[in-house]
Amino acid sequence: MFSAIEPADLSPLQALDLSLWPLDRSVQVFIKRDDLLFDARAPYFCGNKWRKLKYNLLAARKQGHTTLLTFGGAYSNHILATADAGQLFGFSTIGIVRGEEHVPLNFTLRNAQKRGMFLHYLDRTTYRKKNTTEILQRLEAEFGPCYVIPEGGTNALAMQGCAKLGPEIEGQFGESPKYIALSCGTGGTMAGLLSGLEMEQTKVIGFSALKGDFLQQEVQDLLAENQRQTKASWQINTDYHFGGYAKFKPELIDFIRRFKMVYDIALDPVYTGKLFYGVFDLIGKGSFPNGSRIVVVHSGGLQGIRGFEERRGKMW
């Protein structure tokens, strides 16, 4: 039943024409188009969510589960991706949402619900304890046995899915790129990518979408907890969070609009917009040596644009 989504497994690697952007630097940029990694029947089950959920869905099915239960904020890409994947593959889904219910529902939750997800709200204090045995037992008592996927989808099986990203890029590239850049929230995608990279000369830069400098430790812990190592060197860049998770500034929105106009590629204001802004800014500042080939991972998440638009007006 999962074979139907296999062909979407290989997302394109696309060269970006930097002569279209006022950047006077001799580097090359390629986009790993994971935003195109989806099944047309479930377009929000896409990008890094596709990679993170794939092995979890297989495990849930193998263990005989019929219900997926997961966690997220009201604008979570992961919540909607899980609802979409659940509907596609015949799982019931329960979304445990942080905070109070707001009616009418926003785009994310409305569409999760449309896909059959049952939404259950936890106040912020209880939500913070969501991974404790007490809360998990309480949820199980209420909803019955479920396959539980953590917030953001990050677990060992998610890392297994993301570990394919490196060899895929290396295969499509023919050699190892000097740099791979990607957006980070929980760090799961980055830890998975790092664990799968075969070539030592690649440097991976994770651009944090959140304020704070905890992600370096988080990625290290994820690698250690899952007994995985990496051959690549890596770092977390914390300079482009624009004030924190889901925060933005007008220059970020201008950048996203311009990027769409020039390359006809949409970026979202929460993750990939900040990532590409950061990469282009660093290129402009000469932070990448001349001749560098940089692969930037477009991890999807474009439904985030709709949430932005509901609050702020049309993006384009």
Ligand X SMILES: Cc1ncc(COP(=O)(O)O)c(C=O)c1O
> Which residues of this chain interact with ligand X, rule CB under 6 A?
47-48, 77-78, 152, 154, 183-190, 271, 299-301
Q: By C-beta, is 25 or 195 nearer to ligand X?
A: 195
Q: Which two tokens stand for residue 267?
A: 């970026």
Q: How far is the CB of 218 from ligand X (least distance, A)?
A: 9
Distance, CA of 169 to CA of 137 (rounded, Å): 41
3-state secondary structure of 118: strand
Nearer to ligand X, 25 or 42 (CB): 42
**Smallest separation, CB 237 to ligand X (Å):** 13
Query: Which residue, 176 or 189, has its beta carbon nearer to ligand X?
Result: 189
CA 92 to chain centre: 23
Question: 189 or 195: whose CB is closer to ligand X?
Answer: 189
CB of 151 to ligand X, least distance (A): 9
- Considering the complex, state which of residue 143 and residue 263 has its C-beta at the smaller distance from ligand X: 263
Listed in sequence order, the residues at least 6 apart from 69 whose beta carbon sits closer than 8 Å to its beta carbon are 93, 94, 96, 139, 143, 146, 147, 148, 149
- Residue 6 and residue 65: Cα distance in Å, rounded? 22
Cβ proximity to ligand X, 25 vs 274, nearer residue: 274
Q: How far is the CB of 142 from ligand X (least distance, A)?
A: 26
Which of 25/185 has CB closer to ligand X?
Answer: 185
- Amino acid present at 216: Q
Quick check: 143 and 70 in contact, CB under 8 A? no
Please identify which residue in the block is written with the tokens 């999962």: 2
Tokens of 47: 């990008």
User: Smallest Cα–Cα separation from 85: which of 130, 107, 116, 124?
Assistant: 116
233 token code pair: 């060197």
Distance of alpha carbon 247 from alpha carbon 228, whole angstroms: 33
Q: How far is the CB of 47 from ligand X (least distance, A)?
A: 5
CA distance 243 to 212: 10
Q: Report, in Å, the least distance between residue 137 CB and ligand X.
A: 26
Integer Cα distance of 250 and 252 in angstroms: 5
- Minimum Å gap between C-beta 297 and ligand X is 8
Q: Which residue is nearest to ligand X (CB)?
A: 301
Closest C-alpha to 79, from 275, 304, 243, 268: 304
Q: Taking the chain, what is the end-to-end CA distance rounded to the nearest angstrom?
A: 38
State in angstroms the smallest separation of the CB of 90 from ligand X: 24
- Closer residue to ligand X in complex, CB, 181/190: 190
